[in-house]
Structure 1
Amino acid sequence: MSVTTTVVHSGSVGEAGAMYSRLLVTDPQGPHGGAMLLTCELRLGVADPAGPVFPVWRSDDGGRTWREHARVADHLGRGNRYQPVIYELPADLAHLHRGDLLLAGNAIPGDGSTTTIALYSSRDGGATWQFESVVDSGGPALYDPARTSTTTSIWEPELVLVDGVLAVYFADEREKHRGMLQVISRRASSDLRTWTEAETVVGIPDRYRRPGMFVATEPLPDGSYRAVVEIVGPHEVPIHWRTSRDGVDWGDPAEPGPMLVSLEGVVLSGTPNVAWTPDGRGGATIVATARHSWLDGHEANHALVSDDLGTTWRAMQLPVAAVRHVHADASGYSQAVRWNAAGELVQATTVRNAAGSHDVVVAVVAGDWRERVGVL
């Protein structure tokens, strides 16, 4: 039983720190045979006419070694700057087939004047990418959580395919006229070209709590779906838990859902992610992560684990050791935990380095991952 840790990208002096480490484990029975892909936002290449690109790295040994596989440039000529997410199609969709890949992210020009969620596809395992369409466009890339805020940005896409329809969930600041600083919106498409009007999935009309960063699971063994959402406003930036029987209806948008807290009192905080793995008994083990956690009033480095579909949670130490700070540090920002084709736990995260930037780091836990990471 051991942990293999790899620095996939070393952040350099003056580089905008890496965030949104997004990890995909392809279907072991699919065309890519369990290969792993990793992307994140780096905001590099600003001198290039195409602006920053979304890097894509690939691993064919379960996450132990990585190589650069592609750089996804912005078809719109603005720069692929923020919040990429990478997704393998579990079924055919429009002109694409099961196993083809999608990548969505926020294209933003150098002056930050607009935010645009753009969608790309790959039919060759992520080596090359083609522009599909613009999902939605919002106002300038400005963050202002104040009650008096007038910002109209859109952020943080998430992709879910259900019954031949691709849903894109995103944080949406354009509903302030309804008394909501930010909501989770959804637009959907069956042809990857035309999109439904935005609908509110989570929205709290109090001009204080800002739902953000909606991340959903693939269907669980019972056919249901789960999702995590951060609630910005409270100091702890708590993570809340959503349930859908069909992957479409997530309940009353005004109800954020129960807050994630472990039996030990550990609370997750900010920029969540979630995934599940079979438990060997026909059920699922779910792991939820966040930028950091709170334990006895102090920032900590925990994930939460559930064996009963999110009814109860236990805390575990994440394999990549990192000091977490609420302010002036993006370590762990929207980190990911997944399981490779061999069933080993893999964490992709970012860690602040001596250059004042952040490294992109991947850890693979061999053996009994529960024992190794210390489920409390």
Structure 2
Amino acid sequence: MTAQATTDQTTTGQTRLAPTAPGVTTTVVHRGSVGEAGSMYTRLTACDPAGRNAGALLLTWELRLGVTDPGGPVFPVLRSLDGGRTWHEHARVTDPLGRGNRYQPVIYELPADLAHLRAGDLLLAGNSIPADGSSTTLVLHSSRDGGATWELEGVVDEGGPAVYDPSRTSTTTAVWEPDLLLVDGVLHVCYADERRKAQGMLQTISRRSTRDLRTWGDVETVVGVPNRWTRPGMFVATGPLPDGTYRAVVEVVGPHEVPIHLRTSADGVDWGDPAQLGPQLVGRDGVSLSGTPNIAWCPDGRGGTTLLATGRHSWLDGREGNHALVSDDGGATWRSVKLPVPAVRHVHGDSTGYSQSVRWNAAGELVQATTVRGATGSSDVVVAVVEGDWRRLVADEG
């Protein structure tokens, strides 16, 4: 089953904004329209410069056009061939199951062959949900032509209605927020899972794995705390760092600050004791990240590795902000970073910045994709490119 696609014919009505800082190019790639649900989950993928996709940048997000639109919601795929400065609509991935590609998309470039796919092929996972919200289905699509056309590979897992209730008395059974990682010929899909309440776990990070994209292993628990109030969610992992280890971030819903914690794995498969959340991400200047985490890495220019973690917003002395955190020692210590899009964020009543992401383009420039509340009351999707040394944005020079 192949999804409908529109390939590089027009831009998306993008608008270049005035520089927010010297050397920062900022572009609105999608204008939220009146009545459109706010865009969230801006997910960037930076393809391998030496691979088949030649360093292209890909971007997707939740494009929820409303239940009356023909075909239902789709996952848009935008592509940039100039490091993130201009974007073209490359495809709109529809749902052959007829439910609607509604929530939480993520694109992943395969670093090696997998089943009938080859290194450089693309995977797109997301949450297919009908208009009445009666079920949640994590679906997996593939593209063999750089993202122009997409085929449904199958279903990773299915959960109950798309109802959000984080209270300790909730009975919800949804599955949410897939994340993809290929390790030694096995594709691992981690996701938030509300179906373990009988074991005292309000929500867990579960995992299912496959070698052939047709059969899936049993559900495993990667993170789960059996105390009925700790709710870990939105697991996002790096690929292997140069030393072979992996990092992942997890949010904890419930506390007002929605703290973000760091997990470490020696092999990308064993993430340690599921009941241990790992250290909270807090900068040396006291800045902490809050909600909907993401993480990326790049070489630090001295033979080491730099991690950069983002949340929906940040906290400092009880005030909300829009900082990220950077670490040059594998996550042992962190410094705060001023993100190039200086959006105002609030913990309540504001979904902008939800699961924003950063990556580096083939030239080594930092690229941020996020959402900002627009004039219509919906959200605009904004991409910023930091020319030259992005480390000048570091706020804590300590």
TM-score bracket for the superposition, by shorter chain length: over 0.9
Match of 2:156 in 1: 135
Q: Secondary structure at the match of 2:263?
A: strand
1:232 paired with 2:250, answer: no
Match of 1:344 in 2: 365
The answer to whether the 8 A contact 1:287-1:306 is kept is yes
Q: Secondary structure at the match of 1:41?
A: coil
1:33 paired with 2:54, answer: yes
Provide Cα deviations, 1:302-360, integer angstroms capped at 9, x if missing partner. Answer: 00000000000000110001001011111110000110000000000001112110000
Pairing 1:1-376 to 2, within 5 Å after superposition: 2-44=23-65, 46-372=67-393, 374-376=395-397
Partner Cα separation in structure 2 for residue 374 and residue 67 of structure 1: 33
Q: After alignment, is 45-54 or 77-86 more displaced? A: 45-54
Q: Secondary structure at the match of 2:391?
A: helix
- Runs of 5+ consecutive residues of structure 1 not aligned to the other structure: none
Provide Cα deviations, 1:28-53, integer angstroms capped at 9, x if missing partner. Answer: 00011100000000212633442100
The answer to whether the 8 A contact 1:167-1:189 is kept is yes
The answer to whether the 8 A contact 1:221-1:282 is kept is no
Q: Please tell me the residue identity of whatever aligns with 1:120.
A: H
The answer to whether the 8 A contact 1:365-1:372 is kept is no
Provide Cα deviations, 1:184-225, integer angstroms capped at 9, x if missing partner. Answer: 000000001111111100001111110000000010010000
Q: Secondary structure at the match of 1:56?
A: strand
Q: Please tell me the residue identity of whatever aligns with 1:323.
A: V
Q: Go from structure 1 to structure 2 and tell me whether the alpha carbon gap of 1:219 and 1:52 turns closer, same or farther (over 3 Å shift).
A: same
The answer to whether the 8 A contact 1:105-1:157 is kept is yes
Q: After alignment, is 238-247 or 363-372 more displaced? A: 363-372
The answer to whether the 8 A contact 2:337-2:393 is kept is no
Partner Cα separation in structure 1 for residue 319 and residue 31 of structure 2: 28
Provide Cα deviations, 1:159-191, integer angstroms capped at 9, x if missing partner. Answer: 000000000000000000000110000000000
Partner Cα separation in structure 1 for residue 232 and residue 221 of structure 2: 11
The share of aligned pairs that are identical, in percent, is 75
The answer to whether the 8 A contact 1:45-1:53 is kept is no
The answer to whether the 8 A contact 2:46-2:361 is kept is yes
The answer to whether the 8 A contact 1:179-1:205 is kept is yes
Q: After alignment, is 115-124 or 39-48 more displaced? A: 39-48
When normalised by structure 2's length, the TM-score is 0.93
Q: Please tell me the residue identity of whatever aligns with 1:328.
A: G
Partner Cα separation in structure 2 for residue 76 and residue 69 of structure 1: 22
The answer to whether the 8 A contact 1:288-1:303 is kept is yes
The answer to whether the 8 A contact 1:289-1:303 is kept is yes
Q: Secondary structure at the match of 1:177?
A: helix
How many corresponding residue pairs?
Answer: 376
The answer to whether the 8 A contact 1:21-1:41 is kept is yes
Q: Secondary structure at the match of 1:19?
A: coil
Q: Please tell me the residue identity of whatever aligns with 1:212.
A: G
When normalised by structure 1's length, the TM-score is 0.99
The answer to whether the 8 A contact 2:336-2:394 is kept is no
Q: Please tell me the residue identity of whatever aligns with 1:23.
A: L
Provide Cα deviations, 1:248-295, integer angstroms capped at 9, x if missing partner. Answer: 000000000110000001110000000000112221100000000001
Partner Cα separation in structure 2 for residue 372 and residue 174 of structure 1: 41
The answer to whether the 8 A contact 1:142-1:153 is kept is yes
Shift of residue 245 of structure 1? Answer: 0.1
Q: Secondary structure at the match of 2:41?
A: strand
Partner Cα separation in structure 2 for residue 118 and residue 48 of structure 1: 21
Q: Please tell me the residue identity of whatever aligns with 1:31.
A: R
The answer to whether the 8 A contact 1:317-1:375 is kept is no
Q: Please tell me the residue identity of whatever aligns with 1:289.
A: T
Partner Cα separation in structure 1 for residue 66 and residue 116 of structure 2: 32
Partner Cα separation in structure 1 for residue 357 and residue 172 of structure 2: 29
